[in-house]
Every structure is written in C-alpha cells, then in structure tokens.
Structure 1
Amino acid sequence: MSKIAIIADSGCQIDINGEHEGIYIAPLCIGHGSQTYLDQLEITSLDVFNQMKETDDMYTTSQPSTGSLMKAMEDAKRDGYDELIGIPIATGLSSTLNGMQVAADTVEMPITLIDSQGTAHVQKKLVEAARKLVEKGQSVSEIKEKLEDMVKHSGTIIFTPNLNHLKKGGRITPAVAMLGNMLKLVPVMELNSELGGKIDTLGKVRTTRKACKMLADRVVERGANAKDYTFAIEDVLAPEEAQRVRDYLEEQLGPCQVTMRELPSVVGAHMGIGGVGIQFIKNLAE
C-alpha cells in the first residue's frame, strides 16, 4: 500500500516552519522592486501590508519555484512517502498546479492534483481533510472524490475600497479602476469556480458597510450554514470591517465557527489596504 504525503503552497497558511507529519509546504514568491522573497520564510503578510500602508508600494506574486517544489517532494520521499496529493492555490490565481506536476515528474513521484479553487482557509481545510483521510487508510481516488466535493461547497467573496492595486496588478483595466475610484464605488468580487477560481465581479456598492453586508449575504445565498461549514474572515489591515462582516453573518446564521486573521500576502498584495474577504467550506463528510 502506498504511503501518501500532502503537498501544498504557503497560501494555505499552514506554518511553513512547523512540523506537520505528512504535510509539505513550498513557499510562494513575493516580489518588491528588484527583490524576491519566500513567503513565510523571508517575509510575512503583515510585513507586506505594513509596507504597503507606509509607501503604497506595489508587490508582485508568483508560484513556488520548481526548486522549492522539488525540495518539498524530495523531503517527502526521504521520509518514506512514495505518492503525493497536491493541493495548490486556485488555478485561476496561480500556475502552481502545473508547477507541482512538473516537479513531481522530475523527482519521479506519482501525484494526484486537486484544484482548491481558492486559497487561505479553504485550501488549509482541504489539506487537513486530506491528511485525516490518509490516516484513515483511504485510497487516493477516495480522497480526491471527497476533497472535490468539499471544493464544490466552498467559496471566496472579497471587496476592496481602493482599486489601484488591482489595476497595477492587471486584475482590472485602468479605465474601470479610474471610474470606480472617481465614483467611490466598492467592488465586491467572487472567485468563480467555473473559471478555476479566477476573480469575477459580483457587484458594486457605495460604501464599505454595504460591501460587508453583501459579503455575508452572498455566503448565505450560496447555502452555507453554521452547522456544516467553517468560515474565515480575513483582511488587509481592516479589522473593523472584518468584524462587521462577522456580525452580519452571525445575524443571519447564528454563532459560527469563524477564523479571523490577515489575508495571505499573495492575495492582499493585489487587493490593497482595506481589503476584506470571507470564505466558507463544508466540513469533511465522515
């Protein structure tokens, strides 16, 4: 019987410096000027966000290097694993999934890839669920089926009051950014599962308060509930707005299992200061 390891990128927010049996994390890359940093190892989300707040600098992001992915896989092989399940950041946001396949081919380890169609909390819960199923002795095909069902019952909705970083990063056109900033519109966006987790516009509102409500309303509209789902509300130095989203959510669903923290740097760098996101994912079916 194969011994299965899980490989993910640092967007999953699992501590890359910690010990996680059977889980291997490769760092995403964060660019600033002529420098490139390894996410979590050489720079943190809060480092990036605080610098953005002070200088309005633009950061770039990229997938883990082939070398980083190969190292993680070689570590898994050294530890006695002979098969991999790869759970990368959404294909609509990054080419990490393809990078995992290339690295696995190079180190000659079979890999089964699952598009998380998200990152952060959604990706982390998928990694944790995969590890739990491995420990139960389930096969790769059984694990893949259960994780893909969780992905179908997950989502990410975000807003940002400042469109400049999305414009600089090429996520929206300059004309749209200029019009939105002039009219003081707050775009609410969703990671579209049909587009592999690419960012798609959901709506535009006039205030961040209305945007907070729209985030919570969309989660309820998508069918999430307090009994079967976990939630995360993450922000780019906007804790008051994040708390407002939670208040609106719990007004509708009652007390929920909610994680509150900063967004991953690879997402927040493109959203800019004041950005807030909410994620939901259905619990693993036992």
Structure 2
Amino acid sequence: MSPRPAERCQQSLARWRSALEADLLARRAAVPGRKPNLRRKKGRIAVVTDSSCSLPVDRGTQEVLLGPVGVNVISVPIPVMIGDQIYPETSHELDRDLPLALAQGSPVRTSRPSPGRLLESYESLRAQGYAGVVSIHLSAKLSGTVEAARLAAGELDFPVIVVDSRQAGLGLGHSVIDAAITAQLGGSLAAVAEAATRSAHAAETMFVLPNLDQLRRGGRINAMSTLIGGLLWVKPLLQLTEGEIQPMERPRTMPRALERLQARVAQHAHGMDAPRLGVHGFGNPAQALELAETLAPLSAAPVPVVDLPPALGAHLGLGALAVSLNPALPTTS
C-alpha cells in the first residue's frame, strides 16, 4: 500500500533534515582544527525566529527540530485568534479549529508575539552562556514582530541584532538555517546576521491562492487595493517583493495558475546559485507533493513539503500553495 500524502510529506522532511545535517558536518570537517562533531564552547551565537519560518519545532520548548542544525535556534510562536479566542500557535486545538474556521468564513486574525515573550527568549539564551543573538523575523510589512523584537532587544544589556527578513515561510526558514550553520562554524555576531540577511533578501517566494478572501479579511492586500476588483474572480499568482505581497499574474483557473507558478519558479531557479526549494500547502498535501515532485529537478537539495504554519495559513486560506527559493549558503574558505 502506498504511503498516505501526510506520511509522504513527513518523509520529505526527513530527507531534507538528513541533507541539512550532512551539509553541516561536511562544513565542520572542512574548518581547520575543528572536528566534525565539535561544538563551540565560548562566544557562541544563538538564533531566534518566529513560527512563520515554517521550521518544525518542539511545542513545549520551542526548540527547532532539525537535529544538530537546530541546536542553537529558538522559534517564538505567533498567536492566532479565531473570533475572540486567542490560541497559542503551538496548540493542538488550533490545528483542529483553524481549518474549520477558514472553511466556515469565521473571523481569523493573528497578533505579533509580545516584546516580553521575545525578551524571555533572549534572557534564556544569555543564561545558557550564549554571547549574542541574531533575531530573524517575518517581514515587517506583514507583521509587527520585527518591531516587538527591537523593543525587546532594547531592554537588554546583551548583544541582539534584529533582522527583517522581508520573507515568510521557508524563505525565512532557510535564512534561519543559514544563520544557525554560520554560528556553529564559529561565525561572529555580525557574520551570522549577514548570512541571514543575504539568504533572506536573495530569496524568492511565490504562491497561488484559490481566492483572495482571507488576505482581504486580514488586511494583507492593502497595497493592491486598486487591483482587488480584478483579482477576486481569478486564481492569483502572487509574490513577496521587498516584503510586500504583490500580484504577478492573473490566471483564471487553478491548473493554469499552477502551470504559471512552475514556469516562474523555473525562471528564478535558473538564475540562482544552487537554489534550495521548499513547498507549502494548507489542507492539500497531495497537491503540494505533486508540485514538489515536479519542481525537484530544479533544487540543489531535497525539497521539503511543509504545511503552512497557522500564522500564515490564517491569511492565505485553505488550498494555498507556495514555493520558496533561497540561494546556497556559500562555503567558507
């Protein structure tokens, strides 16, 4: 019997994690005087992000579940509100209630993490002996998370660099991974921040939606207000440009939208150094897997198929499909 789509998505994540670990160990082995499994004891840099990065996390500790790659990474949850009820993004109840609320058209909103919650993360990492933190977050044009991080960092006599990724999903997630690996290879605070910024700002994120209802309800398409009337009756192909959602094309059917998405991804992949792709779906794992399999030849690494995190699914809605591309992390000399 063939594995179910959900199982195949988990298998894609396992292949991706194995490739990440192998890359980290190879890079460690190439550092003069450093053994492959040696962990730096002094001057360590930690990475903080938010759950819009789409990386798998431990729901209790918020540690990123990427094996050795994620040992110095914490993800702070973004709260989601259904009606008047606030859910921690890591709650099983949200997994159950969010798809139903979206299907019924119930009001769904998100809120930034509080500065106090981010401050707790920074203080915890300082107590663990880290020398500094690079805090990498969802585009400031989509969320107040970057502002909250800067407020929290200002409360500490401890080095924290806040990076506005101008990204979301695995476009952000891969930049977090690049920052984490750079830190584990002995990179300074500035070098870790630079790796995150380079990866995120060179990334491309494109997506197709069955409709714009959720984006419109959440106020995430104000920049396209003059185009909304012409987009509501099509299957829009959208992208993140300088941190904002912008239209690319206006296909009238979902098959045509997916065809154009694949063509656009191929165009961007051919112009990027060793691109790493990631695919997101929300309530449509079989469709996301099919898209990932089609795009796999364009990627320099295994393509993970990841559910949109609730903070993004709440705005993109059921049936959304997204693709991220990040350039390869350069090999240190």
Q: For this structure pair, what is the TM-score category when the shorter chain's length is used for normalisation? A: 0.7 to 0.9
- Could you tell me which of 52, 55, 59 is aligned with 2:102? 52
Is 2:300 the counterpart of 1:269?
A: no
Q: How does 1:110-129 map to 2 (within 5 A)?
A: 110-129=159-178
* Counterpart Cα distance in 1 of 2:147 and 2:265: 30
Divergent runs of 4+, >4 A: 41-47, 173-179, 224-227
TM-score scaled by length of structure 1: 0.87
Is 2:63 the counterpart of 1:14?
A: no
* Counterpart Cα distance in 1 of 2:140 and 2:166: 7
* Counterpart Cα distance in 1 of 2:300 and 2:175: 23
- Pairs aligned (count): 279
* Counterpart Cα distance in 2 of 1:30 and 1:136: 36
Percent identity reads 24
Q: Kindly tell me: are residues 233 and 40 of structure 1, through their superposed partners in 2, closer, same or farther at Cα, counting changes over 3 Å?
A: same
The Cα offsets for residues 63-110 of structure 1, whole Å up to 9 and x where unpaired, read as 111121111112112211231101111222112112111111113322
**2:278 alignment partner, SS class:** strand
Q: Kindly tell me: are residues 41 and 240 of structure 1, through their superposed partners in 2, closer, same or farther at Cα, counting changes over 3 Å?
A: closer
The Cα offsets for residues 210-258 of structure 1, whole Å up to 9 and x where unpaired, read as 11122221122223589812211111212343244335434x7389621
* Counterpart Cα distance in 2 of 1:111 and 1:43: 33
The Cα offsets for residues 124-160 of structure 1, whole Å up to 9 and x where unpaired, read as 2222221221121111222233332222431110111
Partners of 2:175 and 2:195 within 8 A in 1: no
* Counterpart Cα distance in 1 of 2:167 and 2:183: 22
Greater CA deviation, 168-177 or 134-143?
168-177
What's 2:200 paired with? 151
Report which of the two has the higher share of strand.
1
Structure 1 stretches of 5 or more lacking a match? none
Give RMSD over aligned pairs.
2.6
Partners of 1:46 and 1:262 within 8 A in 2: no
Q: How does 1:76-91 map to 2 (within 5 A)?
A: 76-91=125-140
Q: Kindly tell me: are residues 147 and 172 of structure 1, through their superposed partners in 2, closer, same or farther at Cα, counting changes over 3 Å?
A: closer
Q: Kindly tell me: are residues 43 and 102 of structure 1, through their superposed partners in 2, closer, same or farther at Cα, counting changes over 3 Å?
A: farther
TM-score scaled by length of structure 2: 0.75
* Counterpart Cα distance in 1 of 2:77 and 2:237: 28
Partners of 2:47 and 2:176 within 8 A in 1: yes
Partners of 2:208 and 2:257 within 8 A in 1: yes
Partners of 1:87 and 1:115 within 8 A in 2: yes
Partners of 1:212 and 1:241 within 8 A in 2: no
Partners of 2:269 and 2:325 within 8 A in 1: no
Partners of 2:80 and 2:86 within 8 A in 1: yes
What's 1:101 paired with? 150
Q: CA deviation at 1:283?
A: 2.0
Q: How does 1:1-286 map to 2 (within 5 A)?
A: 2-12=43-53, 13-17=55-59, 19=63, 20-41=70-91, 43-44=93-94, 47-53=97-103, 55-172=104-221, 177=228, 179-181=230-232, 184-193=233-242, 197-224=243-270, 228-250=274-296, 253=298, 257-286=302-331
Q: CA deviation at 1:3?
A: 3.1
Structure 2 stretches of 5 or more lacking a match? 1-41, 64-69
**2:249 alignment partner, SS class:** strand
* Counterpart Cα distance in 1 of 2:273 and 2:113: 35
Partners of 2:275 and 2:298 within 8 A in 1: no
